[in-house]
Amino acid sequence: MKSLLTTWLAIFCLCSVFLSSCGGNHQPLQQLSPPKPSPNIYSLIFIDKTVSVSLKENFTREKYEKALQTIVQQNIRQKGDKIEVYFLHENTSQARVFAMQCKAEMKDTTGLNPTDIKSIKNAYQVSLKKEKNKMQQRCIEALLDDNITETKQYTDIWAILTIIDKKNAKKPENSLLKVFILSDMVESMPGLERRDFYKRPPFSRQEAEQWAEKDVKRFTDIDLSDVEIFYVLPHSPLSTTNQNNPNVLYYWEKMLAKLGLEELKEWNVE
């Protein structure tokens, strides 16, 4: 009897040690952090308002209208997304046209039944569509606004670099800056220290790169590494090299790359 009692006590002690060991290694369940909200998109649009870009051509007008439509439709997705438009001409730095921010907001559906959730989602989509339509209409109005001032004689594309840098520095946290340039990309400014590609474009890729290396020294304090930049040329596929000089675009590709831009991309308007 004593031997049996001793055996049971030994078993009890071993079980106690085992359970204590398991309890000591048990880690408390970690609370799941809420998902990070989708970043807002800040779309900065420059519309060329100079003599070298004519909206009298149906191809150019329709292409630019389609580009603005796709920019709004793809980049306005939630509350906080923003559109800002500038005219591109001799005085680009002072040519802001308008800025609009999306205010449509999806209400909290926690604990609601499927019918109420569907109703809230539908109301949100209707509100979002209305805001997109307003922004799209403002963009088209800006596109069709004829520039009758003397500023249309020259094109200061260099000026957009400073604007981009300032907007990027001031953009809200958890947001992306996307830049869209609706232009032939022909820098054309008077003065010995400026470029006028309308009168004297780069004759080769080598010359374009040499000019980019020289000109970028004016903008060494600008960092474009976390910005996306797209261009939309006005030319049709049948345009001549004189109209659509590939060396001009190469100049911008090399210059912007030296400022940290990953890639200068063409915006797909299809």
Q: What is the CATH number of the domain that holds 119?
A: 3.40.50
Alpha carbon of 154 to those of 34, 44, 219: distances in Å?
Answer: 51, 21, 21
For helices 205-215 and 246-258, give the axis angle rounded to 10 degrees.
40
Give the whole-angstrom CA distance, residue 57 versus residue 55. 5
Q: Is residue 100 part of a domain?
A: yes
pLDDT score, position 4? 45
pLDDT score, position 2? 46
| Helix, coil or strand: residue 191 | coil
Domain count, the chain: 1
Element (H, E) at 101: strand 96-101
Decide: 158 and 187 in contact? Cβ < 8 Å: yes
pLDDT score, position 116? 65
Decide: 41 and 167 in contact? Cβ < 8 Å: no
The pairing of strands 96-101 and 82-88 is antiparallel
Q: Is residue 9 part of a domain?
A: no
Read off the tokens for 1: 């009897």
Element (H, E) at 21: helix 2-25
Residue with tokens 């106690």: 16
Q: Which amino acid is at 135?
A: M
pLDDT score, position 240? 77
Q: Is residue 228 part of a domain?
A: yes
Q: Is residue 5 part of a domain?
A: no
pLDDT score, position 212? 98
Alpha carbon of 26 to those of 15, 22, 29, 33, 45: distances in Å?
Answer: 17, 6, 9, 21, 56
Full residue range of the structural domain in which residue 79 is found: 40-266
Decide: 126 and 63 in contact? Cβ < 8 Å: no
pLDDT score, position 8? 45
Residues 61, 80, 164, 256: what is their CA dihedral angle, to the nearest 10 degrees? -80
In this prediction the pTM is 0.85
pLDDT < 50: residue spans in the chain: 1-2, 4-15, 17-26, 28-29
Decide: 50 and 87 in contact? Cβ < 8 Å: no
Q: Is residue 28 part of a domain?
A: no
Q: Is residue 118 part of a domain?
A: yes
Q: Is residue 10 part of a domain?
A: no
pLDDT score, position 131? 96
H helical segments located in 37-154: 58-75, 114-144
Element (H, E) at 228: strand 227-232
Q: Is residue 184 part of a domain?
A: yes
Which of 40, 42, 47, 41 has the alpha carbon at shortest distance from 231? Answer: 47
> DSSP class of residue 227?
E
